[in-house]
Amino acid sequence: MKMEYYLCKKCMHVISNPVCSECFLKHVNEWLAGRDIDSAKKKEVVNELKRVIEISDEGLSDIDCVICHQNTVDFCTYCLVLRTRWVLKKLRDKGIVEDFDDIFNYAIWTH
Ligand SMILES: [Zn+2]
Ligand SMILES: [Zn+2]
């Protein structure tokens, strides 16, 4: 068993559950698709997320994504979640942010 650990390049916390930006965005998109937001706004959110989250494709680390095992991961999910919340807050819809917290703080990242 590998005992190495990796630090997030943004917040310097240990990455315990490495998920690449691509897989993370995919989950966010799936979640968004089921929400009651008009499609123009959804598009806006997705584009903005791509801008703020897809920052990790430089391949600097050699830690594999636990979901796709193809991309490397430079940032912890906490940082990804934090950035997504910033973007979602711009929608000025409290329900959306709360729903996001519910889903992404527990369901997806705990297994
Ligand atoms: Zn981090
Ligand atoms: Zn991945």
Average pLDDT in the chain: 83
CA 38 to centroid of ligand 1, rounded, Å: 31
The first and second tokens of residue 46, run together, are 């997705």
Q: Which ligand has an atom closest to residue 26 CA? A: 2
Residues 6+ apart with CB under 8 A from 32: 42, 45, 46
In the prediction, which pLDDT does 110 show? 43
Q: What is the pLDDT of residue 104?
A: 83
pLDDT in tens, 42-64: 999 999 998 888 754 555 677 88
Q: Using the mean position of ligand 2's atoms as its centre, give its distance from the Cα of residue 21 in Å.
A: 7
The continuous run of DSSP H or E covering 73 comes out as none
Ligand nearest to the CA of 24: 2
Report pTM: 0.81
pLDDT at 19 exceeding the cut of 50: yes
Ligand 2 centroid – CA 30 distance (Å): 15
